[in-house]
Structure 1
Amino acid sequence: MKAFTIVSLAAVGALALTACGSGSGATPGDAGTEPVIDGTLTVGISRDPGMLFQPLNPSSALGWVSEWAYESLVYFDSEGQSQGWLAESWEQTPTSLHFEVRDDAVCADGTALTAETIANNFRWIADPENGSTAIGLVMPLDAEVTNDESSVTITTKTPNPFMITAVGAQKIYCQAALDDPTTVTNATNGTGMFNMTEAVTGDHFTLERRDDYKWGPEGAATGETPGVPKSVVISVVENESTRANLLLSGELNIAAIGGPDEDRVLGKLDVFSENMLITGGMLYSQAEGQPTADKDVRVALTKALDLDELMRVSTAGKGERAPRLAVAKPQVCQYDAATPNLPATDVAGAEKLLDAAGWVKGSDGKRSKDGEPLVLEFAWQTRGAEISAAAEMMAEQWAEIGVGVNHLGAEYGAFIERISTPGASSELDVIWLAANYPVPSSLMTYFTGPSPDKGNNFASLSNPKFDKLVAEANSKTGEDACNAWEAAEAEMFSSVDYVPFAMAAQSTFAQGVSSEMIKEFYPSTLLVK
């Protein structure tokens, strides 16, 4: 991805290897291909995912690894509809989810997956003592979990019309992993078709097929299906051009390619999956004492920016303006709350607002108030040349109105550590945030509630009117819920709490693989011929 992305439901799954009569690779959909028996499938990912226990790691890169080894209660088809996986059936209301779960799934350590273990996954996340980054994102803060021998029920006091999307898609870990997460820091223990046999941080991960696997959704591949790879090797290839080269040469079967290198791959290999994701956005700190706690300052800083140009630069000309908070698949709501409510570019207007707020220019053209210069502490992830260029452009445009910038660019791990440190919002003024989830309610952990280490409200945002509108939106269902969320987001954007300005398609290309579920693929939901 082109920017820091908290989490995405985009799946990357085990595909059937194919070969032509000569044994060379074939692209998806090629006629006359035959399955490769016990082959090795190779995947290229853009960065190391970090520790492999998802409840403590929000990295989107982890999805490229965890999809092979772990399963969820449901999956989502190409129409965005939930389909059964570890759950055989389910019932939902705005305040509850009830799952009847299958009883034949077996963990990689040989133990049976029980309804109690599934429930314990959500209890682990919900327990604030565990410090899960998924609390509020997957599990609502007021959620309660109960179970019997064959079912799991999650109830909330506050309505949540989209809870199935977050809860249903959460990866389920086996009990030993929950008892001691350090056992799966560089290993796996799930019910998926593959189990990790080697993990070399920053280099590669190797997973082996579980030949006894047979509990996937109806019609899915098993461990004995011809064409299902014996091994999956996931290599960390940070340079996008290198990933494209390896894919074109046949040294990789699957990789996500974007930016200028995408043009080299398009037309030569099939797009196997595509998901639109927010890649550029800004949080303005509202911690007490920060200049950006003043709404007029936030509006002024945004008016000084050319968001259209920032979008073009940050996406290498391949993106669009982000219309709302939740753009990832499966898209539950579709509306444009951002464009009509975010401040339009108006440099003169920006200067007037700052003057009125007491931030006036000195003889050197730089702004200060009560002797304190207006210099923004700007944290962003050093993720590709496009992001760096966009960050520099923002600093240049702010400089034109007399605002200085201290760049705090850092690689992913250091960036996350910086913004997650308790009290960081009192030191940072602007945070580049590109958070992706299919439903807006799950993203609220970043825009409301407690700051680290009690929550994920990195910028200490506080907007009572927005919170009230969110509560109203959560009380509704269907189209009414989407309409209410549009109103809530309109308040967020007009108050300039968060400024999403760019989104782009993440395209996953493949060669030498085949699936009847092209465009939506998961490790064990593939029909292989």
Structure 2
Amino acid sequence: MRTTAGARECEGSPQAPDWSPVMKKPLAIAVALALGTTACGSDDKGKAPEVVKDGTFTYAIPADPGVLEPATAVLGSTNTVLGFAYDTLVHSDATGKIIPGLAEKWDAGPEKVTFTLRKGVTCSDGSPVTARTVADSMNYLADPKNKASLLGVLIPAGMKATADDAAGTVGLATAAPNPFLLESMTAVYVVCGKGLADRSLLKDSTSGSGPYELTEKVAGDHYTFKVRKGYAWGPDGGGIVDGMPGTVTLKVVKDESTAANLVTSGGLSGGQFTGAERKRVEIIPGIHKGSAPDGIGELFFHQGDDRPGNALDVRKALIQSLDLADLRKITGQGNAAAPTHLTSLAPDPCRGDSVTGNLPATDTAAAGTALDAAGWKAGADGVRARDGRRLTLRIAYSTSAGPGVQAGMEYVATRFKAIGVETKLAGSADAKYAESLFSTGDWDLAWVPLGLSLPTQLTGYLSGPFPDAKGSNFAHLKNTEYVRLSGEAAKTVGAPGCPAWTTAEASLVRNLDVVPVSQPTQLVASKGATLDVIGGIVRPTSIRMLAE
């Protein structure tokens, strides 16, 4: 899962619109913070702050990135690292507008997007980045034998890339209409040079055209980059300017308390905070602050034929037993808003309200009555059963989601117990959690921090083949209305189709196929530097080292 665009809060300056996104792929998308920012940093006299030339910027990442191959990158930490070394064809700004990247212009249709590339782009090894380079990089991702994580999510199945080096154009053609193929390219890295010829090199090194080149990797500790002085093809034509760091070190800091101490002492230039350390970091003298949603926390029921969640009346009763506002406060640790739609990552083009009015209100008495009517009767020990089977739900969640989610699932268990439902909390590390969702299926209710950038990305997870048929429909959803409505929506290219997508999403929420609960925020804090994070990725060309 790649991730979130929001708006930086600058003390003494207006706040830009908060268009946030986060992409988590326990599913295959990793939740990653993204923060769109306005320019921060005028002094009391209105003058721009003095910047430091060729400084060192040190930023905390919460986990080791692992393998650096862009085709299989799923962790937010991995994509943060790769964002310094690689470029994309286009970018999104903080409002969701698509702006030039490697491509200076484009022509988007329902089944093909043609990009015209900038001239003079080079890879980190000095080789030219041509139309053929880009096409080869895209075709690698589209080939099923390479098992790219983005295939079926950002890269449509059956996509083919063609190149015209003389014209400097790349065409991406799809087998079926794809209304947001242009927007998808904001999150697809282009591999070039030696790494394109030999992908095995990408396990431990980078081979991209980005503004920085990886020079040192110490797994579990840090990743160091050096600036590429000739870089001049960044977002909207940006290049290397005074104030950008000459060296960037991404340091693995798993504990927020440690990260807070390092920011305070100057051992880190910045980091992100979601828990108890947030308030402590916010009051550090000289701190620059920004906030952004940290994905959408959602509840999913396993709707397999033999599961209690297969029945809508049971799903409704269970949700009625919960106070979703309380659950939001607990899981978001007081820093969460009510979601209004099911995507959150930049560019997030469709922002209509598909949630309000489509979830049942809290009604514990009605929940009990509905379960009685469905044949789930309370036994002598208070636990409901039907046909000799106890109403027991295994609740899956990732332990890396933090103490708020742990407490939230304990709250759910308590509320379910009050209506006679037995629960088993099954918190696990990311790898086992993903295996449970996509392989073993040993869950009945799951907390999924799903953050996606486009409504088309939802279809693979919320419809289509189940995991046992090598699909991604992990909850075994069978919403025929959503399939029909999303199919109709997909016939219209870009934003004009958004009302239809909102209607399709609403059918999922009404049917309780997905229960959006919480859109929490993270704090991005920096000291002696400012930066933008858009689409879950630090924008390298936005970093400015300040003489404070």
Residue aligned with 1:456, SS: coil
Q: Is 1:168 the equivalent of 2:183? A: no
Instruction: Show the 5 A alignment for 1:343-362.
Output: 343-362=360-379
**Taking structure 1 as reference, are residues 480 and 165 closer, same or farther at Cα in structure 2, changes over 3 Å only?**
closer
Counterpart of 2:463, as a letter, is T
1:12, 1:200 → 2: CA distance? 27
TM-fit CA distance, 1:433 = 1.2
**1:406 alignment partner in structure 2:** 424
| Deviation sequence 1:11-61 (CA, Å, 0-9, x none) | 589xx9xxxxxxxxxx84455744333322100122223322233232222
Which of residues 283, 287, 293 is equivalent to 2:300? 283
Q: Is 1:313 the equivalent of 2:321? A: no
1:354, 1:457 → 2: CA distance? 27
Residue aligned with 2:425, SS: strand
Cα RMSD (Å): 2.9
Q: Contact (CA 8 Å) 1:95, 1:155: kept in 2 or not? A: yes
1:116, 1:34 → 2: CA distance? 42
Structure 1 window deviating more from structure 2 (212-221 vs 141-150): it is 212-221
Q: Contact (CA 8 Å) 1:68, 1:194: kept in 2 or not? A: yes
TM-fit CA distance, 1:163 = 2.3
**1:294 alignment partner in structure 2:** 311
**2:114 alignment partner in structure 1:** 98
Instruction: Show the 5 A alignment for 1:63-462.
Output: 63-149=79-165, 150-174=168-192, 176-178=194-196, 180-217=198-235, 220-222=238-240, 225-266=241-282, 268-269=285-286, 271=288, 273-382=290-399, 383-421=401-439, 424-425=440-441, 427-452=442-467, 454-462=470-478
**Taking structure 1 as reference, are residues 259 and 82 closer, same or farther at Cα in structure 2, changes over 3 Å only?**
same
Structure 1 window deviating more from structure 2 (84-93 vs 114-123): it is 114-123
Structure 1 window deviating more from structure 2 (89-98 vs 205-214): it is 205-214
Counterpart of 2:274, as a letter, is G
Q: Contact (CA 8 Å) 2:299, 2:515: kept in 1 or not? A: yes
Structure 1 window deviating more from structure 2 (110-119 vs 372-381): it is 110-119
Unaligned runs of 5+ in 1: 17-26
Q: Contact (CA 8 Å) 1:192, 1:524: kept in 2 or not? A: no
Identical-pair percentage: 33
Unaligned runs of 5+ in 2: 4-21
**1:19 alignment partner in structure 2:** none
**1:22 alignment partner in structure 2:** none
1:12, 1:187 → 2: CA distance? 26
Q: Contact (CA 8 Å) 2:23, 2:31: kept in 1 or not? A: no
1:279, 1:236 → 2: CA distance? 25
**Taking structure 1 as reference, are residues 182 and 366 closer, same or farther at Cα in structure 2, changes over 3 Å only?**
farther
**Taking structure 1 as reference, are residues 221 and 167 closer, same or farther at Cα in structure 2, changes over 3 Å only?**
closer
2:496, 2:242 → 1: CA distance? 47
Residue aligned with 1:488, SS: helix
| Deviation sequence 1:170-205 (CA, Å, 0-9, x none) | 111226445554422232221112122232333222
TM-fit CA distance, 1:325 = 0.2
TM-fit CA distance, 1:485 = 1.5
Structure 1 window deviating more from structure 2 (271-280 vs 198-207): it is 271-280
1:454, 1:43 → 2: CA distance? 38
**Taking structure 1 as reference, are residues 237 and 353 closer, same or farther at Cα in structure 2, changes over 3 Å only?**
same
Residue aligned with 1:35, SS: coil
| Deviation sequence 1:119-144 (CA, Å, 0-9, x none) | 23332332223222212210223433
**Taking structure 1 as reference, are residues 270 and 287 closer, same or farther at Cα in structure 2, changes over 3 Å only?**
same
Q: Contact (CA 8 Å) 1:328, 1:437: kept in 2 or not? A: yes
**Taking structure 1 as reference, are residues 271 and 142 closer, same or farther at Cα in structure 2, changes over 3 Å only?**
farther
